[in-house]
Amino acid sequence: MSARFVIFCTALSGFITVGLGAFASHMLRTQLSERLYDVLQTGIQYQMFHTLALFGVGILMLRQPDRGWNQTAILFITGMVFFSGSLYMLALSGQHWLGAITPVGGVLFLAGWLNLGRVAFRQLSE
């Protein structure tokens, strides 16, 4: 995975997050129950946090090539798909079984943060 691809994914994720946030705020606030709207907002918030983190990883990939950065990027991207994606689908469809997928994304996010720390520690030790 190249830094170029990671930064492209960052831009795409940021676009989706801002677009969905605006759509939710203007069109879905009155259409969804308060609980489902909160679920949607949680997905948006976590996606944006991890979009910013992914951008940092992309920049690190440009400056310090290391396979560990690729692993971190993959963990953050798949975490966004599983965590935020499952919350989006749950909020928009009302299918509560989708909530069972969300913790998988949470674990991927946690693994991404641990891997980020591991790789950064190793890079700083050299």
User: How would you class 83 by CB atoms within 10 Å of its CB: exposed for 0-12, middle for 13-18, buried for 19 or more?
Assistant: buried
Q: Which two tokens stand for residue 13?
A: 């994720």
Task: Transcribe 81-102 into DSSP letters.
Answer: IIIIHHHHHHHHH--GGGGGTH
Kindly report, residue by residue over 75-109, the tens digit of the pLDDT.
999 999 999 999 999 988 888 888 899 999 999 99
In the chain, how many domains are there?
Answer: 1
Distance, CA of 98 to CA of 52 (rounded, Å): 25
Domain range for residue 67?
3-125
Kindly report, residue by residue over 47-65, the tens digit of the pLDDT.
999 999 999 999 999 988 8
pLDDT at 27 over 90: no
pLDDT at 126 over 70: no
Q: Which two tokens stand for residue 74?
A: 């993959």
**% of the chain beyond a pLDDT of 70:** 99
Distance, CA of 53 to CA of 71 (rounded, Å): 13
